[in-house]
Amino acid sequence: MYDEKEYHKRWYQEKGKAREAKARVDIKTETLTHYGSGRLACVMCGESRLACLSLDRIDGGGRFHRKELNRYDYRFYILLKRQGFPKGYQTLCMNCQFVKAALDRVKEMPIDGV
């Protein structure tokens, strides 16, 4: 006997998950390439491994911005694409993200005796 619910469940397990994974990689690649000035690479050091790359909000506060929009991971990339890839973002590798954050913290530290 044909069980439509079981068929769809099996189809999703076999093919649907793979399609979704490919779609997530595709939107991430498209977004990071756009914000990498047309290259899928860190704009600071040139790192090009997709697993190492991330999106950086140039003016900072990206975590709070994503929380405000309630958009995380690939859903944020979809939102940016729908908005026509607005300015204010760049592609950085995780090392350059870390360095940028560290330098931003140093700028905010008070200097004694001044």
d(CA 39, CA 24): 18
Bridge-partner residues for 55, per DSSP? 91
Between CA 33 and CA 105, with CA 92 as vertex, the angle to 5 degrees is 155
Helix (H, G, I), strand (E, B) or coil at 56: strand
Measure Cα distances from 23 to 17, 64, 73, 77 in Å: 10, 26, 13, 11
Whole-model pTM: value is 0.75
Residue type, 37: S
Q: Residue written as tokens 């977004």? A: 31
Per-position pLDDT tens, the chain of length 114? 668 888 777 877 777 788 888 999 999 999 999 999 999 999 999 999 999 999 998 887 666 666 666 555 788 899 899 999 999 999 999 999 999 988 887 876 666 654
CB 85 within 8 A of CB 36: no
